[in-house]
Amino acid sequence: MPYELGRQYEVWDCPFCGQNTISIIHFPKSVNVKRSKTASLPGSKGFHVSPDVYVISGGCPKCGKAAEEVEKKFKSDGIL
């Protein structure tokens, strides 16, 4: 699984109380390159770019907001 190798653990500020308590798992974007040789295109290359993925692993223990509420707020603010 390619995501297992590139994951990073981060801690972000809560959008509600401002405390540095939201734990995030970040999977950075990756590029897969595929080479193929055919009679019509002897050296063609194709690639697929997968976007950044952020997973909120828990809510805020300070203000009591759930992970779903925090994720909804991040998406409405344009952060995710």
Model confidence pLDDT, tens digit, residues 26-65: 888 877 777 766 666 666 667 777 788 889 988 898 888 8
Q: How far apart are CA 53 and CA 18, in angstroms?
A: 23
Q: What is the pTM of this model?
A: 0.65
Average pLDDT over residues 14-36: 84
Q: What is the pLDDT of residue 78?
A: 87
Question: Tokens standing for 13?
Answer: 């500020």
67 Cβ contact partners less than 8 Å away, ≥ 6 residues apart: 56, 57, 58, 59
Question: Mean pLDDT, the chain, as a whole number?
Answer: 81
Q: How far apart are CA 43 and CA 29, in angstroms?
A: 25
